[in-house]
Amino acid sequence: MGVKLVALDIDGTIIPPNAAGDGTQMPGPRTRAAVMRLRANGVAVVLASGRMFPGAASVARYLGLETPIICQQGCSVHRIDGQMLHSFPIARRAAMEVIGYAREIDRVYEWFDPLRYVASRPNPSSDEYGRVSGILPEYRPDPENSGFEPTGVGIISSESEANAIHRTLAGRHGESLHILDFPAVTVAVAPEANKGHALSLVCADLGIGRHETIAVGDSVNDAAMLAWAGRGFAMAHSDRYALDAADEVLGGDSADPLADLLDAL
């Protein structure tokens, strides 16, 4: 298969999962060099991240990329200068139903678009997401009245609670929302807002076929992208969603299996 585009998740993939979560950590020198060689050989490299645009763009600039950036689990696609190419807002009625459930169970909830993030109470999860996303989280008791339409909402809980919250929301909303089951946060976005759909649009814009793509990721928000790509690779530490969606798992005895894959391309 001739590879013309490689899509890479950021956190947990090109930046190790145990890296400092302050937003300043960048990909290692081998990964950066491998990305530069791919670009020199005419292979497009696209970042596909759960981060908001500012935090994803900082990594893209570090890698010297000028390709579109997929942000917020696929809720938006931007040029490197910030221009919006694609955006998929969540229906307000559905968003209000999700945050209504958050209030029922007395949990913090988040309301966000590509550039703003508002949570109902200060909490460590929102603080960390703001750091890696390159934005300052806003806190107010009524995020839904912040004056912007969201691309997504989420319920912040704990590792022991999140899976049950995910099951409840999935049962209530079925396929009308895309519900992401993160370890301590349950995120609801529009059904078409996923990295796989966003990657398909980027490839269409660039004139690249599905069979000419490779994707690498490690998390539930990467699963649709790994399934859509011609070949999907999951990191060895990936969650069950990424492992189920991938064609192959990167591992073995290598100290840097991602860099090995990129070099092999």
Q: Give the tens place of pLDDT for each residue, 145-196.
A: 999 999 999 999 999 999 999 999 999 998 899 999 999 999 999 999 999 9
* Residue 23 scores a pLDDT above 70: no
CATH class of the structural domain 5-87+193-264: alpha beta
Residues 188/154, Cβ–Cβ less than 8 Å: yes
CB atoms within 10 A of CB 183: 15
Query: What pLDDT does residue 22 have?
Result: 58
The CATH number of the structural domain formed by 92-189 is 3.30.1240.10
Q: What is the DSSP string of 157-226?
A: --TTTHHHHHHHHHHHHGGGSEEEE-SSEEEEE-TT-SHHHHHHHHHHHHT--GGGEEEEE-SGGGHHHH
- Quick: pLDDT tens for 54-97: 999 999 999 999 999 999 999 999 999 999 999 999 999 999 99
Query: Encoding tokens for residue 256?
Result: 């840097």
* Ramachandran angles phi, psi of 99, nearest 5°: -70, -25
Coil, strand or helix at 184:
coil
The amino acid sitting at 106 is D
89 touches 70 (CB < 8 A): no
Task: Please report the pLDDT score of residue 78 as a whole number.
Answer: 97
| pLDDT, tens only, 141-150 | 999 999 999 9
Q: Could you tell me the residue ranges of all domains in the chain?
A: 5-87+193-264, 92-189
User: Average pLDDT for residues 121-131, to the nearest whole number?
Assistant: 95
Report whether 48 contacts 7 (CB < 8 A): yes
Q: Is 170 helix (H, G, I), strand (E, B) or coil?
A: helix
Integer Cα distance of 249 and 59 in angstroms: 24
Q: How confident is the model at residue 255 (pLDDT cuts 50, 70, 90)?
A: confident
- Taking the whole predicted model, whether its pTM rises above 0.85 is answered as yes
* Alpha helices (H) along 41-161: 53-62, 92-104, 124-133
As a whole number of angstroms, the distance between CA 159 and CA 8 comes to: 26
Which residue from 113, 63, 112, 62 is spatially nearest to 87, judged by alpha carbons?
A: 113
pLDDT at 17: 85
